[in-house]
A and B are shown apart, each in its own frame.
Chain A
Amino acid sequence: KAGVTQTPRYLIKTRGQQVTLSCSPISGHRSVSWYQQTPGQGLQFLFEYFSETQRNKGNFPGRFSGRQFSNSRSEMNVSTLELGDSALYLCASSPSWDGEKLFFGSGTQLSVL
Protein backbone atom coordinates (compact mmCIF):
# COMPACT_ATOMS: atom_id res chain seq x y z
CA LYS A 1 0.00 0.00 0.00
CA ALA A 2 1.43 3.37 -0.99
CA GLY A 3 2.20 5.85 1.76
CA VAL A 4 1.19 9.48 2.09
CA THR A 5 2.31 11.38 -1.00
CA GLN A 6 3.09 15.08 -0.93
CA THR A 7 3.90 17.23 -3.93
CA PRO A 8 5.98 19.11 -4.73
CA ARG A 9 8.98 18.08 -2.61
CA TYR A 10 10.65 21.48 -2.85
CA LEU A 11 9.27 24.89 -3.70
CA ILE A 12 10.82 28.34 -3.95
CA LYS A 13 8.57 31.40 -3.95
CA THR A 14 8.96 35.13 -3.41
CA ARG A 15 7.21 37.31 -0.88
CA GLY A 16 3.65 38.20 -1.82
CA GLN A 17 3.08 35.15 -4.01
CA GLN A 18 0.70 32.36 -3.16
CA VAL A 19 1.36 28.63 -3.09
CA THR A 20 -0.66 25.41 -3.17
CA LEU A 21 0.61 22.16 -1.69
CA SER A 22 -0.93 18.77 -2.36
CA CYS A 23 -1.35 15.66 -0.23
CA SER A 24 -2.67 12.24 -1.21
CA PRO A 25 -3.44 10.09 1.86
CA ILE A 26 -2.97 6.37 2.22
CA SER A 27 -5.68 4.56 0.32
CA GLY A 28 -8.73 4.16 2.54
CA HIS A 29 -7.71 6.89 4.97
CA ARG A 30 -10.33 9.61 5.32
CA SER A 31 -8.67 12.05 7.71
CA VAL A 32 -5.91 14.40 6.59
CA SER A 33 -4.07 16.88 8.79
CA TRP A 34 -1.36 19.43 8.08
CA TYR A 35 1.58 20.55 10.21
CA GLN A 36 4.23 23.25 9.82
CA GLN A 37 7.78 22.59 11.01
CA THR A 38 10.28 25.41 11.55
CA PRO A 39 13.54 25.50 13.53
CA GLY A 40 12.14 28.17 15.84
CA GLN A 41 8.59 26.96 16.49
CA GLY A 42 8.96 23.23 15.98
CA LEU A 43 6.01 21.22 14.73
CA GLN A 44 2.70 23.08 14.83
CA PHE A 45 -0.76 21.92 13.87
CA LEU A 46 -2.38 23.77 10.97
CA PHE A 47 -5.71 22.06 10.29
CA GLU A 48 -7.48 18.73 9.96
CA TYR A 49 -10.04 17.54 7.44
CA PHE A 50 -12.41 14.62 7.52
CA SER A 51 -15.06 13.87 4.90
CA GLU A 52 -14.34 17.14 3.09
CA THR A 53 -15.00 19.19 6.25
CA GLN A 54 -12.47 21.10 8.32
CA ARG A 55 -12.73 19.63 11.83
CA ASN A 56 -9.93 21.43 13.64
CA LYS A 57 -7.85 24.52 12.99
CA GLY A 58 -4.61 25.67 14.59
CA ASN A 59 -3.53 29.19 15.47
CA PHE A 60 -2.48 30.39 12.06
CA PRO A 61 -3.62 33.51 10.18
CA GLY A 62 -6.33 33.36 7.55
CA ARG A 63 -3.69 33.36 4.81
CA PHE A 64 -3.42 29.64 5.51
CA SER A 65 -6.32 27.65 4.14
CA GLY A 66 -7.05 24.16 2.97
CA ARG A 67 -9.60 21.84 1.53
CA GLN A 68 -10.29 18.16 1.08
CA PHE A 69 -11.79 16.52 -1.96
CA SER A 70 -14.24 13.64 -2.19
CA ASN A 71 -11.36 11.19 -2.82
CA SER A 72 -9.76 12.38 0.49
CA ARG A 73 -6.90 14.16 -1.27
CA SER A 74 -6.14 17.50 0.34
CA GLU A 75 -4.58 20.79 -0.64
CA MET A 76 -3.36 23.65 1.47
CA ASN A 77 -2.91 27.17 0.22
CA VAL A 78 -0.86 30.03 1.59
CA SER A 79 -1.58 33.46 0.16
CA THR A 80 0.54 36.59 0.33
CA LEU A 81 3.64 34.68 1.35
CA GLU A 82 5.92 36.09 4.04
CA LEU A 83 9.55 35.21 4.76
CA GLY A 84 8.43 33.53 7.98
CA ASP A 85 6.33 31.04 6.02
CA SER A 86 9.52 29.25 4.99
CA ALA A 87 9.11 25.82 6.53
CA LEU A 88 8.66 22.11 6.02
CA TYR A 89 4.95 21.43 5.56
CA LEU A 90 3.94 17.93 6.57
CA CYS A 91 0.73 16.14 5.77
CA ALA A 92 -0.55 13.17 7.76
CA SER A 93 -3.39 10.75 7.21
CA SER A 94 -5.32 8.39 9.46
CA PRO A 95 -8.10 5.92 8.83
CA SER A 96 -10.85 7.83 10.59
CA TRP A 97 -11.64 10.82 12.68
CA ASP A 98 -10.58 10.34 16.25
CA GLY A 99 -7.68 9.02 18.29
CA GLU A 100 -5.86 7.34 15.49
CA LYS A 101 -2.25 6.64 14.60
CA LEU A 102 -0.97 9.24 12.14
CA PHE A 103 1.09 8.43 9.06
CA PHE A 104 3.15 11.29 7.64
CA GLY A 105 4.36 12.09 4.16
CA SER A 106 7.88 13.29 3.33
CA GLY A 107 6.79 16.92 3.36
CA THR A 108 7.11 19.94 1.11
CA GLN A 109 10.05 22.22 1.83
CA LEU A 110 8.92 25.78 1.08
CA SER A 111 11.45 28.58 0.81
CA VAL A 112 10.19 32.16 0.58
CA LEU A 113 12.74 34.66 -0.74
Chain B
Amino acid sequence: GIQVEQSPPDLILQEGANSTLRCNFSDSVNNLQWFHQNPWGQLINLFYIPSGTKQNGRLSATTVATERYSLLYISSSQTTDSGVYFCAVERAGTSGSRLTFGEGTQLTVNP
Protein backbone atom coordinates (compact mmCIF):
# COMPACT_ATOMS: atom_id res chain seq x y z
CA GLY B 1 0.00 0.00 0.00
CA ILE B 2 0.91 3.65 -0.12
CA GLN B 3 3.38 4.93 2.46
CA VAL B 4 2.99 8.30 4.19
CA GLU B 5 5.85 9.88 6.12
CA GLN B 6 5.51 13.01 8.20
CA SER B 7 8.27 15.17 9.59
CA PRO B 8 9.26 16.26 12.09
CA PRO B 9 7.64 13.81 14.53
CA ASP B 10 7.78 16.38 17.34
CA LEU B 11 7.98 20.16 17.27
CA ILE B 12 8.12 22.61 20.17
CA LEU B 13 7.59 26.31 19.49
CA GLN B 14 7.21 29.54 21.35
CA GLU B 15 3.98 31.41 20.78
CA GLY B 16 4.28 33.65 17.73
CA ALA B 17 6.75 31.45 15.86
CA ASN B 18 6.20 30.03 12.38
CA SER B 19 6.54 26.37 11.40
CA THR B 20 6.46 24.04 8.41
CA LEU B 21 5.23 20.45 8.58
CA ARG B 22 6.03 18.04 5.77
CA CYS B 23 4.25 15.01 4.35
CA ASN B 24 5.89 12.69 1.82
CA PHE B 25 3.95 9.97 0.06
CA SER B 26 5.14 7.04 -2.01
CA ASP B 27 2.63 6.97 -4.88
CA SER B 28 0.34 9.20 -6.91
CA VAL B 29 -2.67 10.40 -4.97
CA ASN B 30 -6.13 11.69 -5.82
CA ASN B 31 -6.97 12.81 -2.30
CA LEU B 32 -4.81 14.48 0.33
CA GLN B 33 -6.08 16.03 3.53
CA TRP B 34 -4.52 17.66 6.58
CA PHE B 35 -6.09 17.22 10.01
CA HIS B 36 -5.49 18.61 13.48
CA GLN B 37 -6.31 16.30 16.37
CA ASN B 38 -7.18 18.29 19.45
CA PRO B 39 -6.51 17.13 23.03
CA TRP B 40 -10.02 15.65 23.21
CA GLY B 41 -9.31 13.37 20.27
CA GLN B 42 -11.39 14.99 17.58
CA LEU B 43 -9.89 15.27 14.11
CA ILE B 44 -10.51 18.65 12.57
CA ASN B 45 -10.19 18.89 8.81
CA LEU B 46 -7.83 21.71 7.89
CA PHE B 47 -7.43 21.28 4.16
CA TYR B 48 -8.51 19.06 1.29
CA ILE B 49 -5.58 19.63 -1.05
CA PRO B 50 -4.65 16.92 -3.59
CA SER B 51 -2.70 19.57 -5.51
CA GLY B 52 -1.99 23.28 -5.46
CA THR B 53 -2.01 25.83 -2.64
CA LYS B 54 -4.70 26.91 -0.21
CA GLN B 55 -4.81 29.35 2.67
CA ASN B 56 -7.11 29.64 5.66
CA GLY B 57 -6.17 32.40 8.09
CA ARG B 58 -2.81 31.64 9.68
CA LEU B 59 -2.66 28.24 8.01
CA SER B 60 -1.72 27.43 4.47
CA ALA B 61 -0.89 24.24 2.60
CA THR B 62 0.85 23.33 -0.61
CA THR B 63 0.84 19.98 -2.38
CA VAL B 64 3.30 19.26 -5.18
CA ALA B 65 1.72 16.10 -6.52
CA THR B 66 4.41 15.46 -9.16
CA GLU B 67 7.08 15.38 -6.44
CA ARG B 68 4.87 13.53 -3.95
CA TYR B 69 4.93 15.88 -1.02
CA SER B 70 2.74 18.34 0.83
CA LEU B 71 3.60 21.12 3.26
CA LEU B 72 1.51 22.68 6.01
CA TYR B 73 2.53 26.15 7.16
CA ILE B 74 1.49 27.58 10.49
CA SER B 75 2.26 31.26 11.03
CA SER B 76 2.16 33.24 14.28
CA SER B 77 1.47 30.07 16.25
CA GLN B 78 -0.84 30.13 19.27
CA THR B 79 -1.12 27.76 22.22
CA THR B 80 -4.41 26.52 20.79
CA ASP B 81 -2.48 25.20 17.77
CA SER B 82 -1.00 22.49 20.00
CA GLY B 83 -1.96 18.94 19.16
CA VAL B 84 -1.16 16.34 16.53
CA TYR B 85 -1.22 17.17 12.84
CA PHE B 86 -1.95 14.35 10.43
CA CYS B 87 -1.56 14.08 6.71
CA ALA B 88 -3.80 11.49 5.02
CA VAL B 89 -3.85 10.36 1.40
CA GLU B 90 -5.71 8.10 -0.97
CA ARG B 91 -3.78 6.44 -3.77
CA ALA B 92 -4.78 7.48 -7.29
CA GLY B 93 -6.80 4.92 -9.18
CA THR B 94 -8.82 3.86 -6.15
CA SER B 95 -12.36 4.92 -5.43
CA GLY B 96 -14.05 6.02 -2.28
CA SER B 97 -12.42 7.80 0.64
CA ARG B 98 -10.11 5.15 2.06
CA LEU B 99 -7.41 7.33 3.59
CA THR B 100 -3.96 6.22 4.70
CA PHE B 101 -2.68 8.36 7.55
CA GLY B 102 0.85 9.32 8.44
CA GLU B 103 2.08 8.99 12.00
CA GLY B 104 1.57 12.66 12.69
CA THR B 105 3.55 15.62 13.97
CA GLN B 106 3.09 16.40 17.67
CA LEU B 107 3.14 20.20 17.95
CA THR B 108 3.52 21.95 21.30
CA VAL B 109 3.22 25.73 21.44
CA ASN B 110 4.41 27.25 24.68
CA PRO B 111 3.20 30.67 25.93
Contact = CB atoms under 8 A, between A and B. Distances in A.
Answer yes or no: are A and B bound together in one complex: yes
B95 A104 contact: no
A33 B101 contact: no
Interface residues of B, number: 25
A104 B45 contact: yes
A72 B27 CA distance: 32
Interface stretch (B33-41, B58-66, B72-80): B33-41
Contact of B45 (A37, A90, A103): A103
Interface string A13-51: 000000000000000000101010100001111001010
A22 to B, nearest CB: 17
A31 B50 CA distance: 19
B101 A43 contact: yes
Interface centre among A48, A92, A102 (most CB of B within 10 A): A102
Contacts of A100: 31, 48, 97
A105 B42 CA distance: 6
Contact of A45 (B42, B48, B98): B98
Contacts of B98: 33, 45, 48, 56, 58
Interface of A: 31, 33, 35, 37, 42-45, 48, 50, 55-56, 58, 88, 90, 92, 94, 97-107, 109
Interface of B: 30-31, 33, 35, 40-45, 48, 50, 86, 88, 90, 95-104
